[in-house]
Amino acid sequence: MILTRTVALVGMMGAGKSSIGRRLAARLNVPFRDADSETEAAAGCTVAQIFERYGEAAFRDGERKVIARLLAEPPHVMATGGGAFMDPQTRERLKRDTVTIWLRAPVDVLLARTGRRETRPLLMQGDPRATLERLLAERSSTYAQADHTLDSEDGPHGQSVGRIVTLLEDCGALTA
């Protein structure tokens, strides 16, 4: 199988973009890129530290630049940060240069997954459930602009990977 376009996974934090993305890249034998990890490497500090020191706007600017750099690479699987697709410039670039897939997950799944790590700056203030509910309400209509939507349930990621492979074959982004 040959991937003809980069696949960009978009959606909320905890939707499975990184874990599904790693498995998808391995299955397709292409590189995996995590935009948050790449942004941290470029900045020399964690996402949480970037938010704390410079604010969200500075993080989004760095994220935009990192994603643009990653899109210059040969086809790969990319996990974007939860807010990346909300940025109009980033969203336009992703829609133009990749196959975008919204990994949609219910709040209970997002809450369970994000509760495993304390590295989510937007969840460090107030009630995480209320924050996730608010963000999901604010972002869903924008995430829905992705080329495809895949429900990310609380089950084996292998099932999601198989569904994405079928989707990529059907849209011509994956050839034999």
Quickly list DSSP for the chain.
-EE-SEEEEE-STTSSHHHHHHHHHHHHT--EEEHHHHHHHHHTS-HHHHHHHH-HHHHHHHHHHHHHHHTTSSS-EEEPPTTGGGSHHHHHHHHHHEEEEEEE--HHHHHHHHTT-S--GGGSSS-HHHHHHHHHHHHHHHHTTSSEEEE--SS-HHHHHHHHHHHHHHTTSEE-
Per-residue confidence (pLDDT) for residue 155, from 0 to 100 = 67
Per-residue confidence (pLDDT) for residue 79, from 0 to 100 = 98
Per-residue confidence (pLDDT) for residue 159, from 0 to 100 = 87
Is the confidence at residue 118, as pLDDT, over 70?
no
Distance in angstroms (rounded) separating the CA atoms of residues 139 and 3: 28
Q: For residues 65 and 156, which has the higher predicted lDDT (pLDDT)?
A: 65
Give the mean model confidence (pLDDT) for residues 133-160.
90
Q: For residues 12 and 113, which has the higher predicted lDDT (pLDDT)?
A: 12
Per-residue confidence (pLDDT) for residue 154, from 0 to 100 = 66
Is the confidence at residue 150, as pLDDT, over 60?
yes
Are the CB atoms for 18 and 26 separated by under 8 Å? no
Point out the least confidently predicted range of 46-50, 71-75, 126-130, 149-153: 126-130
Mean pLDDT taken over the chain: 91
Per-residue confidence (pLDDT) for residue 129, from 0 to 100 = 86
The full set of domain ranges for the chain reads 12-169
Block residue for tokens 């990890």:
37
Per-residue confidence (pLDDT) for residue 64, from 0 to 100 = 95
Is the confidence at residue 61, as pLDDT, over 70?
yes
Per-residue confidence (pLDDT) for residue 120, from 0 to 100 = 57
Is the confidence at residue 119, as pLDDT, over 60?
no
Per-residue confidence (pLDDT) for residue 113, from 0 to 100 = 79
Candidates 90, 85, 132, 139; CA nearest to 108 is 132
Is the confidence at residue 121, as pLDDT, over 60?
no
pLDDT tens, position by position, 79-96:
999 999 999 999 999 999
Block residue for tokens 């900045």:
43
Look at the domain 12-169 and name its fold: Rossmann fold (3.40.50)
